[in-house]
Amino acid sequence: MEDIIVPIVVVPILFIGLPWLIFHYITRWKSQATLTREDEQLLDELHEMARRLDDRMCSIERIMTAENPNWRSVGCDPITDALEERRPSSFSDAGTSGSSFGESQSVSNQPRRIGQ
């Protein structure tokens, strides 16, 4: 009796139930892959926020450029260049440059490199 009931139950489950279950979730997955109205609204809000932040950054950059025209080059100057150019003799020569604190010196935003 068991030899007849098990194949009668297993065959429909295997050939009907399992494919139906797989295709059911595939169609659910495909229907959720599209953007909903809420998703589109969220994307529009995020795009508008990014545009406003970009405008703010442009305003800040204009203000900084008006106050200090070469502020970008200061931020982009790698410090490693100054470290690579140092020589052991540069440290002994640094104090003999002839300038003292009382003399007027040009002020720059560029980092001073030894030997210049």
Q: What is the pLDDT of residue 17?
A: 93
Examine residue 53 and state whether it is found in any structural domain, yes or no. Answer: yes
Contact 77, 110 (CB under 8 A): yes
- Would you say residue 6 lies in a domain? no
Q: Is residue 66 part of a domain?
A: yes
Q: Where are the alpha helices (DSSP H) in the chain?
A: 2-12, 18-32, 37-67, 71-76, 79-85, 88-93
Total domains present in the chain: 1
Instruction: Show the low-confidence residues of the chain (pLDDT under 70).
Output: 74-116
Distance (Å, whole) CA 63 – CA 57: 10
- Domain assignment of residue 20, yes or no: no
Q: How much is the pTM?
A: 0.40
The answer to the question of residue 40 being in a domain is yes
Instruction: Determine how many CB atoms are found less than 10 A away from the CB of residue 113.
Output: 13
| Domain region containing 42 | 35-74
The closest alpha carbon to 61, from 50, 49, 75, belongs to 75
| Position 109 in a domain | no
